Structure 1
Amino acid sequence: MSDRIRQTVVTVSAVVAVVGSFIGSGAAGGTPIQDAAGGALGADSTLIAPAGPAFSIWSVIYLGLIAYAVWQFLPAQTHSPRQRILGYPIAVTLLLNAAWILSVQAGLLALSAVVIAVLLIALLFTFVRVVRTRRRGQGWVQSIVVDGTVGLYLGWVSIATAANVTALLTASGFDGFGWPADAWGVAIVIVAGLAGLALAVFGEGRLSPTASLAWGLVWVAVSRTTGTLPSAAVAATAIATASALVVATVIIRLVAERTARASRD
């Protein structure tokens, strides 16, 4: 019974998150996220805001989350020890995601920054559990639906958190302690890249967090070269950081796989 309750909670949470995304997209007649909260999260609101097409990654993430909700309800997964560990943490991230959309739609920018920061912490917690419970030979479906989805989710929320907090500070009139805006932009991009590198090291070269984080950084660069708030320094740093992160992750993965093969031999 406890397993069925968990499965139901995950599924209901996924439905809530998908409905929230539908509302957040403006498809239900509401204000799109980029236009809500006075446009504070728009593509040209801050130097860290990615261009609009970057948000299409949510379609992939939500597809993965829906697939997970269905997959974890299959009889073979009902009593899975791994799903008992991952189910509720993933459900929490889904509900937090919906809460973030609601806070933005309500124009509560400060609350949205708090919620997305908590969401990032919840995803980090979930990612740690994903990595520690992964087993070789678990199958490609589980690797994509569970590991891949959580990784993409975490990588994108990492860059989204940086953009959200930056938007809040900008809207609050933060002057950056006298630093030029470009300097802050470059610094934040580098910190995001270092965070991605830490995830790659801990995850032994997991590709999905790097893929979504690099995706976000590339679209930050696009926004800084084609939008109304240009910054050559931030754009160049974002491209360089995304490229370095991808290369480093691939190297870490190759080394991890070679080490694993050597230990088996």
Structure 2
Amino acid sequence: MTVTSRRPVLADLVRSILVAVFAVLQIVVSVLTETGATHESIGAVAREYATPLLAADWAFAIWGPIYVGFLGYAVYQALPGQWGRQLHREIGWWLAFSAVVNIGWVLAFGSGWVPLAELLIVMLLVALAVVFGRLSRQPAESVLERVVLRGTVALYTGWVSFAIALATAATGAWMGLPASGALAAIAAVVVLLAVSVIASWVVLAGTAVIGYSVAAVWAAAGIALNDPPAAVVVAGAIAIVVIIASTTRRLTTAGNPMRAAWG
């Protein structure tokens, strides 16, 4: 059995600094992009390649709490007593990578490089999935950790799980595939229901399910309420019901409801 020391080393310091730097930088880049200071806003590009899977503008407000939570984690993991924790050694580099990829996604999509943005958001989901999975293997050390780390990662992963579907639809529109009409509506319904099934499986298998479910329901509602075809509205409603039902079942059958809910 290998015992890992909690004594901080140089790599811990470097990792801690990079997480903090990229946490701030991704906020700066996002603000500059959304204000049009560097590129078109994400919303403007998304509307340019609109499909039935496009979420309402208000749905993208979820990035606010995600960025604030990520910044909170950056401060938390930078505390001297946290540097040497094995948990941060396992997930810190992945979260730093996720911030870099997110910055690249924002810049690429804002520049209209939709296929590149698609690749980057897939990489973002992979990074978040790794962190989400590793967090599920051990309980939180404190309430603060549950909020700024596990809650943030769960919220972020839930949102990106649906955002990747939106990005893929936009990529299809960029490539010239039908962005409206019956075929586009059918494709949107299939994708939305498939993502909701995957989200329900994550809720039933993972931890911090409240944060994940809130983001997933928020995304599904954003799609359903953005004046899409009626079939997409129905699919969105079904997705919301399935995710909420799965969450309720997980919380009522889990051996440790607190951990299931908040990690």
- Matches of residues 222-241 of structure 1 in structure 2 within 5 Å? 222-224=225-227, 230-241=228-239
Query: Which amino acid is 2:42 matched to?
Result: I
Is 1:68 matched up with 2:73? Answer: yes
Aligned residues of 2:200 and 2:242 also touching (Cα < 8 A): no
TM-superposition CA deviations, 1:208-265 (whole Å, max 9, x none): 11110110100101102xxxxx31110111012112201211211221136999xxxx
Query: Which amino acid is 1:72 matched to?
Result: Q
Question: Comparing 92-101 with 234-243, which one deviates more in the overlay?
Answer: 234-243
TM-score, with normalisation over the residues of structure 1?
0.87
Superposition deviation, residue 38 in structure 1: 7.4
Name the CA shift for 1:83/1:46 in 2 (closer, same or farther; >3 Å).
same
CA distance in 2 between partners of 1:30 and 1:153 (Å): 24
TM-superposition CA deviations, 1:22-65 (whole Å, max 9, x none): 1221264642111137722xxxx111110000000000000000
- 2:170 corresponds in structure 1 to 167
- 2:3 corresponds in structure 1 to none
Name the CA shift for 1:82/1:250 in 2 (closer, same or farther; >3 Å).
same
Identify the match of residue 33 of structure 1 among 42, 45, 48: 42
Q: Secondary structure at the match of 2:136?
A: helix
- Matches of residues 6-45 of structure 1 in structure 2 within 5 Å? 6-26=15-35, 28=37, 30-36=39-45, 39-40=48-49, 45=50
Aligned residues of 1:37 and 1:107 also touching (Cα < 8 A): no
Aligned residues of 1:205 and 1:251 also touching (Cα < 8 A): no
- 2:215 corresponds in structure 1 to 212
Aligned residues of 1:38 and 1:107 also touching (Cα < 8 A): no
Is 1:107 matched up with 2:112? Answer: yes
Q: Secondary structure at the match of 2:156?
A: helix
- Matches of residues 40-59 of structure 1 in structure 2 within 5 Å? 40=49, 45-59=50-64
Superposition deviation, residue 180 in structure 1: 2.2
Unaligned runs of 5+ in 1: 225-229
Q: Secondary structure at the match of 1:257?
A: coil
TM-score, with normalisation over the residues of structure 2?
0.88
- 1:251 corresponds in structure 2 to 249
CA distance in 1 between partners of 2:73 and 2:188 (Å): 35
Superposition deviation, residue 199 in structure 1: 1.2
Aligned residues of 1:26 and 1:32 also touching (Cα < 8 A): yes
CA distance in 2 between partners of 1:233 and 1:85 (Å): 43
Name the CA shift for 1:202/1:107 in 2 (closer, same or farther; >3 Å).
same
Aligned residues of 2:221 and 2:236 also touching (Cα < 8 A): yes
Unaligned runs of 5+ in 2: 1-9
Identify the match of residue 195 of structure 1 among 170, 194, 198: 198
- 1:5 corresponds in structure 2 to 14
CA distance in 2 between partners of 1:205 and 1:169 (Å): 33
Structure 1 vs Structure 2 CA RMSD: 2.2
Superposition deviation, residue 127 in structure 1: 0.9
Q: How many residues align?
A: 249
Identify the match of residue 159 of structure 2 among 146, 156, 180: 156
Query: Which amino acid is 1:39 matched to?
Result: E
Is 1:135 matched up with 2:144? Answer: no
| Structure 1 runs (4+) greater than 4 angstroms displaced | 258-261
Query: Which amino acid is 2:139 matched to?
Result: R
